[in-house]
Amino acid sequence: MDAVVTVTHPLDPLSLAEIASAVALLRDSRKLAPTVRFPIVRLEEPTKADLAAHRLGGTLPRLAFILAMDIGNGETFEGIVDLTSGEVASYERLPLDQLPYGQPPVMLCEFETVEGTVKSDPRWIAAVKKRGVTDEDIPLIQIDPFSSGYFGRDFEKGKRIVRAVSYWREDIRDNGYAHPIEGVVAVVDLIANRVVDLVDDEKIIPVPRKKRNYGRETFPETRPDLKPLHIVQPQGPSFTVDGWKVEWQNWSFRVGFTPREGLVLHELGIKDQGRLRPVVFRASVTEMVVPYADPTANHYWKSAFDAGEYGLGRLANSLELGCDCLGHIHYFDVPAADDLGQPFTMKNAICMHEEDYGILWKHYEFRNGIFEVRRSRRLVISFFATVGNYDYGFYWYLYQDGTIQLEAKLTGIIQTAAVATGETYPWGGMVDDNLGGPTHQHFFNARLHMDIDGGGNTVTEHDFVPRPWGDDNPYGNVFDTRTRVLKRELDSPALANGETGRYWKVSNPNIQNSVGKAPGYKIVVMPSPVMLAQPESTVAQRGGFAKKHIWVTAFDASEKYASGDYPNVHAGGDGLPRYVMQNREIDNADVVLWHSFGHTHVCKPEDFPIMPVEYAGFTLKPNGFFASNIAMDLPPEANGHSIDNRLPQSPEKIGSGSCCHT
């Protein structure tokens, strides 16, 4: 169930021992220098075809993917280590010094060196002093290394850089984002460890000094009228866990985790009439990008690709019992590698528990007095990642009726901009005195390697359209469903349309369901924006996946991420827009469904100092997959801890009975 589990399945994450062994094999065989670091160490996963052969008795090598970068000269290599044979299967240099460039994700060890590099630069010291910062202030100034974007400048081409912004603090526990030092941006070459460019805007805006802290000492008086709310499962949870495999309410899946994506669900299927039916072979969030709409010096370049430029899995939180998750919790500890390639355990990185989710189905028949209701319960599998100022939760939900849902939770601290007294902030919203919040967007992309009932799958696009008046519509009330089969990859990039109720269905055309149709699942999208940056802008070129809601590709093991492999300081043109240009056949094929979704954030005072959670996501719902409502067999027992607050009741009378009347 955690980092110490002995490997029992080819999809299990690398164990601590395997991480140590893989790194040692690579170090020894290639005689790596002491300056080599390891931004990524993960399982090189077997494909669907590999696993099918394995189930028939074939053997699978245990492979580790290792990204090795020499911080002395920037040279980067991709290695595959065969742990089964004890050999390095491949070790190839990446041409990151050539167009379209790109860099490995920024490492924590590099974050730690940037502050000293910036604070020792005399140009930066002079710039912050213009804004009222003193020598005594400098030790406490917060330096945020931020992924730099790409604009074709010489110091960006093939270089490993970050742009660093600064925040004044009077105390180490102060919220630095309340005190941005506007108009000063240091560009740091992480290989040379020096500032290669410094922006010092001519317009001098004083540093906002009003404190907006959020530590618990800031609010010594808390609400006294909040009563305890306990979630109790006296007989334990309804799920079972065997290593990384989970079973719950007919669902079966395997838990995975990678440094870039974080939580992964493998081989997600559901039992139906005694048979396990595949639904999704692999599900994860492969990328997200946050472009900002402020053209000024501190902000125009901000467009963090939080998965590809940092690694959502590498930045996962250690979750706190009773705070991040409530109820009867099962935590997964995750084996990981630090920047030096040394194995360590990410404690409580994944949380799994059950939640009540209101009414699942209900009907009251007044003619015969039958009253039936069943409550919905869902299984929650989640993790949280903190990427600089923002915190993102990723919650997969499984429901008893066969529904699958992903919900992204956005919280944390907004980026801020200093505003001169008497002026307003034109690029977003004012959140406090002399403090603006830049308008920005958050885009996520989920990669769903579909496997509806195994075999080939087909994706269709559906719209509801009114039927014209005529003999077949004499009253004008008829509307139709217009269906389009996505035959090739360039058929697939599409936008959602609430007016027509557009949805997409993934089905298996090789099988018939109970009514003679192809069994399938449909993706139900939430209202979601697309990237509003101009198509020719560098952020749109680098994050082209966010220009459409839906993409479908033929499976290719090398096409793992919506933005491509290395979006950091990348010139653009990679990822989904490039994948679909191959225009491969996707009808009755091994297909990957990609969904981009997100949130446009116009900042307001209520977002500060900590932003209340915003939600974004989507749902996969069975559509002709089952012969009937599969949740009809749920037990009708009433909750035994519910009470009528109007009446004093003894414990033995609390919540007794059934959720039905006949």
- Where in the sequence numbering do the catalytic residues fall? 306, 390
Q: Which of 440, 395, 388, 383 is nearest to 413 (CA)?
A: 388
Q: Which two tokens stand for residue 577?
A: 């827009």
CB 96 within 8 A of CB 158: yes
User: Could you tell me where the beta strands, DSSP code E, fall in 250-389?
Assistant: 251-258, 262-272, 275-291, 303-305, 330-337, 343-365, 370-387
Give 564's Cβ-side CA count (13 Å radius).
Answer: 23
The token pair that represents 369 in the structure block: 């007095």
CB 324 within 8 A of CB 317: yes
Report residue 551 as tokens: 């993409």
Closest CA to 659 of 461, 374, 420, 237: 374
Place of tokens 């305890």: 228
Please report which helix (H) or strand (E) contains residue 70, including its range: strand 63-70
Q: How far apart are CA 243 and CA 6, in angstroms?
A: 8
Q: What are phi and psi of 489, to 5 degrees?
A: -60, -35
- Please tell me the distance from the alpha carbon of residue 323 to that of residue 234, in angstroms, as a whole number: 20
At 278, list the tokens.
Answer: 């595949």
Q: Residue 76's closest CA among 103, 43, 98?
A: 103
Residue 123, token pair as written in the block: 């140009």
Annotate 395-463 with DSSP letters as a single string: EEEEETTS-EEEEEEEEE----EE--TT---TTEEEEETTEEEE-EEEEEEEEEEE-TTSS-BEEEEEE
